[in-house]
């Protein structure tokens, strides 16, 4: 006898007509929370080491990587305080000031 290869069209049709909530108990799944204690946390020293590694990989200064990190973190915030806006503007200024300073040194 030939082995059945897969679902027939009638089985597929029956599956598609099922209520999506009957496939998994949505209430049980939504009640689960992530165990935050099991997540890896970085210490300040480990984070600094990661920034140094990224700077080496990207061939950019650690300052530029740190400024990109600050800007990325602030851009993804839902609520901005006045200090967030000030920090973002300062980071943008420093990001471009460093590039401008290098160009001025090259010209001299």
- Please report, for residues 13, 20, 33, 65, the alpha-carbon distance to residue 10 in angstroms, rounded to integers and kept in the order given: 5, 18, 38, 56
Q: How far apart are the C-alpha atoms of 83 and 30, rounded to whole Å? A: 35
Supply 56's token pair: 């080496």
Report field, pTM of the whole predicted structure over 0.75: no
Q: What is the pLDDT of residues 7-26, one digit of tens each?
A: 677 777 776 677 665 555 55
- CA–CA separation, 47 vs 53, rounded Å? 10
The CA distance from 58 to 64, in Å, is: 10
Domain residue ranges of the chain, discontinuous segments joined by + = 61-108
- Read off the pLDDT of residues 33-45 as tens digits, 9 standing for 90 and up: 545 544 468 788 8
Mean pLDDT, the chain, whole residue set: 76
In sequence order, the 6+-apart residues with CB closer than 8 A to the CB of 88 are 70, 71, 74, 75
Taking a C-beta distance cutoff of 8 angstroms, is the pair 7, 15 a contact?
yes
Phi and psi for 99 in degrees, rounded to 5? -65, -40
> For residue 99, which of 56, 57, 54, 68 has the smallest C-alpha distance?
68
């Amino acid at each position: 006898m030939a082995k059945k290869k897969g679902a027939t069209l009638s089985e597929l049709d029956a599956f598609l007509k099922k209520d999506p909530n009957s496939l998994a108990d949505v209430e049980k799944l939504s009640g689960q929370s992530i165990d935050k204690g099991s997540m890896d946390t970085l210490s300040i020293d480990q984070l600094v080491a990661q920034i140094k590694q990224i700077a080496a990989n990207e061939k950019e200064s650690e300052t530029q990587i740190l400024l990109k990190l600050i800007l990325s973190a602030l851009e993804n915030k839902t609520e901005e305080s006045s200090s967030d806006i000030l920090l973002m503007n300062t980071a943008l200024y420093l990001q471009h000031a460093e590039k401008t300073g290098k160009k001025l040194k090259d010209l001299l």
